[in-house]
Chains A and B, each alone.
Chain A
Amino acid sequence: MLHIKCPHCGMRSQNEFSYGGDATIKRPELGKEISDQDWDNFVYNRKSLRGKHWELWQHLSGCRQWIKVQRDTATHEIFKTLKANEEIS
C-alpha cells in the first residue's frame, strides 16, 4: 500500500485516495475550435509511461482535494506532491 503525502493533510495511506490519471493533460478551453486529433489526444490518448509520471489523485476519504503526485510507475517511488493549483515544474 502506497504512502502518499497529501499537501493538505500529510502522509496518508493509499486507501484514502483514488487515482485520477495523467496530471499533465490540460482540458481544452470551452467554446474553442479544436481539431479531431487534438480532441482525441485530450480524451483518449495517454502514454503508459514506465518511470516518473505526474498523476492526479483525489484524497477522497480525507480532505477531498485533488492533488498532483509525481510517482515512478515501475518502483512506486513518490518524489513530490503538489496542490491542485500548483504548477508542475
Chain B
Amino acid sequence: MTQSFRLESGGLINRDKKISFKFNGKNYYGYEGDTLASALIANGVHLIGRSFKYHRPRGFFGAGVDEPYAIVQLYRNGETEPNIKATEQELFEGLEAKSVNCWPSVNFDVGAINNFLKIFLPAGFYYKTFMWPKSFWYKIYEPFIRRAAGLGTASIKHDKERYEHKYEYCDVLITGSGPSGLASAYSAAKNGAKVILTEDKSRFGGTLLTSEVNIGNQSGKEWADSIISELKEMPNVTVKNRSQVFGYYDHNMLVMSERISDHLPKTKKFHPKQRLWYIRAKEVLISSGSIERPIVFGNNDTPGVMLSSAAKEYMKVYGVLVGKKPLIFTNNDSGYETAIEFKKNGIDPIILDTRKEPQSEIIEEAKNMNINIKNSYVVVAAQGYKKVKSADIAKISDNKEELGSIENIECDCICVSGFWTPTIHLASQSGNKTKFNEDIDAFVPGISKQNEKTLGAANGIYTLEETLKDSFEQGNQLSKKITNNENKVSFPNVVEKKSTVHDKFWCVPLPKGKNYKRFLDFQNDVAVSDIEIALKEGYRSIEHVKRYTTLGMATDQGKTSNLNGLQLVSKIENKVVPAVGHTTFRPPYSPVSIGAIVGREVGKHSKPTRKSPMHSWHEKNNAVFVDAGVWLRPRYYKRGEENLFEASKREAKNVRTNVGVCDVTTLGKIDIKGPDAAELLNRVYTNAWLKLPVGKARYGVMLREDGIVMDDGTTTRISENHYHMTTTTAQAASVLSHLEYYLQLVWPELNVNVVSTTEQWAGAAIAGPKSREVLKKLFPKSDVTNEGLPFMGYMEGDLFGVKAKIFRISFSGELAYELNVESDNGYFMWEKIIEAGEEFGIQPYGTEALSTLRIEMGHVAGSELDGRTIPYDNSLEGLLSKKKDFIGKRSLSRKAFAAEDRQKIVGVVPLDKKTSIPEGSHLVKDSNAPLPNPKLGYISASCWSVEHDNPFSLAILKDGRNMIGEKLFVMSPLKNKVIPVEIVSSHYVDPKGERVRS
C-alpha cells in the first residue's frame, strides 16, 4: 500500500527504515521516527475512533499530548494497554493498535445511534435519565452505559513488565526543551549548576523543530541540536527525552515518568518499561510551552478538522500531509505559517481569517506566495461524516455577530488556529496564583508559592527573541544564586518574522435555522448547548459546570477545551473570564500508567517479608504459614491429610499432655540500659518495677495516656541496669517509639537508652508438663529444677557451646520456658530442642495452637487488647499499682472507666457444646428482639478447647463480672447463626494457675 499522504521528501523521519504495523487488523507501514498518528495519516487513515457519548467519527486533532480524539488500544509483545494517544505513540516494528469505543467496527458503529438520540443525552444525562426505577441502575443502566461509553479495555493479566522508581536531586529542573528550556538550561549549566532538562517527546527542540526562525545563523532545529549535544556532554547536566514531568508537589518535589521502552517492540533485557522519577529541585523552570486552541464552529468534530499547528508539525517533522485541499481557519498569524508550509509543499491552501485587515511580515509573505486569503471570513460548519468533504463558510460582520450568505467550498481538512493557551498546569499545581492576561485571553502564572518560574510561551511570551533573552537570563540568575558562579552566555542573533495581534474571536454563531453541534470538549462530546443547559439549570461554579457536563474531563483533561468553555460561561453569565476562574489543575498533567506509579512494589515486593532463622526448618516440616504483620509464622504443621482444625487441635493437645515447641522469634524485643531503667519501667508499666531483683522476669501492661491498654509483655532484669523487654509482635515498633517519645521529650532527665533487638534474638517457647525434662537435656550443667529456676525466673545457660537466655515464662498456661539465642544460632537451637524432646513426644506448634492454648487459659492478646479496652475489661486490674503514678493512670478514674456495669472479659460456651462460635459475633439477651438488637458484648476470640473438647470463646461483655452463669445468645448475621450460650469464667483451664508454677 502506498503512503498517499506522505511527502516526497522532508521531515525528520528516517526514510531508509520502513516499519510495518497493524491498525484494526490491516497492515500498513511507516518510517522510523513516525508516531502511530503520523504513519496512519500518511496512509490516508483519518477515521480512528468513535466519540465517547454520541459515537461520532473521530480522527486526529493534534500531534501530541493535547490530543483528545486519537485514543487506541495498543498491543505490544503480547500485552495490551488501553487509551494510548496515537499522537504520542512512536511507531515500532510489529505495533498493533485498535480503535476503542466502537462496536462492531470503527466504520460501522452500532453506538452511533446515540448521535441521532442526542436530544436524549444532554448535559448531566447520567444523573437525569437513568434515575428510575432504582433497581434498574446496577443491572441495566450502569452496565449499558459502561459498555457504550467506555474507552479502552484494561488488561486483567499480570503485567510482566518492570517499572522502576528513582529519586533525584538537582539545582535546576527544566521542564520542556523548546527555546526557553534550551536557553535556560544552557546558561544554568554554564554556571555549573546541576541541571535536569526534560522533554516529553522523543525529539528535543519543541517549536524550534517546526518554526521558520534563525538563531546565530542556524535554523531553529540546528541550534536546538547543537545546544542539546553540548548539554549532553556536560557532567552536571542530565537530559531526558520521552520524559514527562506530570506533577508538582510540596517542597519542590516533582514527579516525572520516563518512557524507556514504550517505543520499542520489546523491552530490552534488564531494562524497565518505564521509570518514575521523584525529583527534588532547588529551582524549577517551567518551559512547557503553549497549546493552540480551537475556534468553535458547527460540526467542528468532523475528522479532518484539526489544529493548524498540528498540520504544520505533521508536514515538518513527519513529512505528512493532513489533506490536499486544506482550509485554514484562523484568528491570528499562526494559521499563515501552516498555510505557507502547505504552499511550499505544492498544495494550495485557502486562509479564512476572522480579522478584517491584518498586516504583518508573515501575512505579507503569504500574500507574496499567492495564497488565497479571505478576510472577515469564518467556517460556519464542516460538512462530511467520516471525513471533511466541504465547509460552509460566510463573511462575518465587524461585531462578529452577523453572518453573511453561506457559501460551500470543497476541502478535505480544516486547520484551525484560535491563538495559544500557555501550559500552566505545573505552575498551578505548585500553588502559583494564576492571573488572566487580557492580551492573550488566557491564564498565565502569577505569584509563585514555591521556587518556580515560568518561561517563554508557557508564560504568555510568544516571540522567540524575548523568550530566549528572558530564558538565558533566568537560567543564569537562578544558577548563579546556587553555585556562586557566573559564565555569561553571549546572546545569539535571532531572526524571526514579526506577527500582529490576534482577534479575540473564538466561537462562530449559528446560522439561522441551523442547529449544528458546536463542540467545546472533543473527547467527552460536550457542546455549546450542553454548557447552556447546565447554566440554565442553575450550575454556576465552573467546578460544578465541569462535573455536570464533563467538560475538561477524561484522558486529555481539556487541554484544548477548557479555555473556550470558560469563554462561553463568562459570555452567558456576562462576566469576565477571570471572574469565572479556571478549574483546579491537578496532577497528573497527562495519564501515567499504574505500573509506573506502583513501581517495583508488586507481588512479593509490595512489602518486606520477615522470616525467623528457623523458617527453613518449618518449611521442611510442612508448616503452613500465616502473615503476622510482615512476618511469616507457621500456622500449623500439616501431618498427612490433616486440615487446620485437626492439626492445631493435635498440636495444642500435645502441649497440654507432653511438650511442644513454638517459634516466638517474632515477639518484639527491646534492650533497655541505664541507671534509670527501673524508673522508666515503673512509669511505663502499670505495676511496680523498682524492686524486681536481677534474674527475675515480670509481666507488665502498658497504657496509653487515655487509659486504653497499649501492649503487654514480660520484662526481665538481666543485670543491675540492664533489662530485656518483650512486646507483642504487632506492637513492637510502636512500643519502641512510645518509649523514645517519653525519654526524649517528657522525661529527658532519665538516664536510659532503648534499642530494638527483635532481629538479634531467635526465640523458642518450650511448653508442656514435660518441658523441664527437655530443658534438663539441653542444659545438663544448669540447675533448671523448680527451685533453681522458679516461675518467672531467668538464667543464662550453655546450649552445647551456644550462649542462651532461659526465661521461665508461659503464654500457654503450662509449665513453660522461652529460650533466646543470637539469631545466627536459632536454627541450631531449634534442632537441638527437637532432638532433645523427641523421647518426650515433642511436637512443633503453630500460631493456631498457640491461640487455642491462650484462649482457653483466658490470657489476653491482640484481639482483646484492641485499642478499645482498659485493664479492668481484660481482668488486669490487679496489675494497677495504687502507690505510684504511671502513664494513663489518671484516665482510669474517669466516670465511664469506673462504671459499675463496665464491660469485662468472660468465657462463652455453646449450650450444645458443639457449635463453633464465629469471632466478631454479638452477644444478645433475646435472639428474637426487633432489630437493631441491643448488643451486650462481642466475641473476641474462639477456639476448640482441647482440655474440655468443646468450643470455647472469649468475649468482652457488658457487666461481665455479674454475668457468669447467665444464658445468652450469640448472633452472627454474617454467618447467619444464632447460638444459645452460657457465660463462664474466662479462665477455662487451670483457673488457679498451678501448672505454670509446677
Contact = CB atoms under 8 A, between A and B. Distances in A.
A31 B885 contact: yes
Interface in A3-46: 3, 13, 18, 20, 27-28, 30-31, 34, 36, 39, 42-44
A interface, by DSSP: helix, strand, loop or mixed?
loop
B250 A1 contact: yes
B891 A43 contact: yes
Nearest to A27: B746
B899 interface: no
A3 B748 contact: no
B1 interface: no
Given A2-B251, A36-B894, A75-B431, A58 B741 contact: yes
A3 B741 contact: no
A58 B737 contact: yes
A68 B862 CA distance: 32
Contacts of B167: 13
A3 B740 contact: no
A20 B740 CA distance: 12
A85 B547 CA distance: 51
Contacts of A56: 745
Interface residues of A, number: 27
A18 B737 contact: yes
Contact of A84 (B249, B252, B745): B745
A31 B882 CA distance: 11
B611 interface: no
Nearest to B255: A1
A3 B280 contact: yes
Contacts of A30: 683, 885-886
Nearest to A85: B748
A42 B888 CA distance: 11
Nearest to B449: A75
A64 B278 CA distance: 24
Residue with the greatest number of chain A CB neighbours at <10 A, chosen from B252, B705, B741, B890: B890
B891 to A, nearest CB: 6
Residue with the greatest number of chain A CB neighbours at <10 A, chosen from B167, B249, B250, B891: B250
B885 A1 contact: no
Given A1-B250, A1-B251, A30-B885, A39 B745 contact: no
A4 B740 CA distance: 20
Given A75-B431, A75-B449, A84-B745, A1 B249 contact: yes
A69 B251 CA distance: 15
Interface string A53-70: 000101010001110000
A52 to B, nearest CB: 16
Q: Give the size category of B's interface with A.
A: 20 to 34
B741 A39 contact: no
Nearest to A83: B744
A22 to B, nearest CB: 12
Given A31-B885, A43-B706, A1 B744 contact: no
B470 to A, nearest CB: 28
A65 B251 contact: no
A80 interface: no
A42 B890 CA distance: 11
B253 interface: yes
A84 B431 CA distance: 31
Nearest to B755: A64
A39 B746 contact: no
B760 to A, nearest CB: 16
B347 to A, nearest CB: 51
A43 B249 CA distance: 33
B884 interface: yes
A56 B705 CA distance: 17
Nearest to B741: A66
Interface string B735-759: 0010011001110100000000000
Contacts of A76: 250-251
Contacts of A31: 884-885
A65 B744 contact: yes
A14 B253 CA distance: 11
A34 B745 CA distance: 21
Contacts of A66: 740-741, 744-745
Interface string B240-259: 00000000011111000000
B889 to A, nearest CB: 9
Contacts of A18: 737
A34 B748 CA distance: 22
B740 A58 contact: yes
A56 B738 CA distance: 13
A60 B746 CA distance: 18
A68 to B, nearest CB: 9
Contacts of B745: 56, 66, 84
Contacts of B280: 3, 13
A31 B886 CA distance: 8
B427 to A, nearest CB: 16
B737 A60 contact: yes
Interface string B871-899: 00000000000001110001100100000
Given A1-B253, A3-B251, A30-B885, A84 B744 contact: yes
A1 B169 CA distance: 14
Contacts of A64: 740
Contacts of B252: 3
A41 to B, nearest CB: 12
B282 to A, nearest CB: 11
Interface in B694-744: 705-706, 737, 740-741, 744
A1 B737 contact: no
A31 B431 CA distance: 49
Nearest to A3: B251
B250 A44 contact: no
Contacts of A44: 706
B741 A20 contact: yes
Nearest to A26: B746
A13 B253 CA distance: 10
Residue with the greatest number of chain B CB neighbours at <10 A, chosen from A3, A36, A44, A66: A66
Contact of A39 (B249, B740, B748, B891): B891
Contacts of A58: 737, 740-741
Contacts of A3: 250-253, 280
Contacts of A43: 705-706, 891
B890 A39 contact: yes
Contacts of B741: 20, 58, 66
Contacts of B253: 1, 3
B275 to A, nearest CB: 18
Contacts of B449: 75
Interface in B875-933: 884-886, 890-891, 894
A66 B737 CA distance: 9
A42 B887 CA distance: 12
A1 B249 CA distance: 7
Contacts of B737: 18, 58, 60
Nearest to A4: B251
Contacts of B705: 27, 42-43
Given A30-B885, A66-B741, A84-B745, A1 B683 contact: no
Interface in B842-894: 884-886, 890-891, 894
Interface string A74-89: 0110100000110000
A71 to B, nearest CB: 11
A86 B895 CA distance: 37
Interface string B209-250: 000000000000000000000000000000000000000011
A30 B890 CA distance: 10
A69 B791 CA distance: 47
Nearest to A76: B250
Contacts of B683: 30
12 contacts: A1-B251, A13-B167, A28-B890, A30-B885, A31-B884, A44-B706, A58-B740, A58-B741, A60-B737, A65-B740, A66-B740, A84-B748
Q: 4 shortest A-B CB distances, which residue pairs?
A: A3-B251, A31-B885, A84-B744, A30-B885
Given A1-B249, A13-B280, A34-B890, 5 more contacts: A2-B250, A3-B280, A13-B167, A60-B737, A84-B748
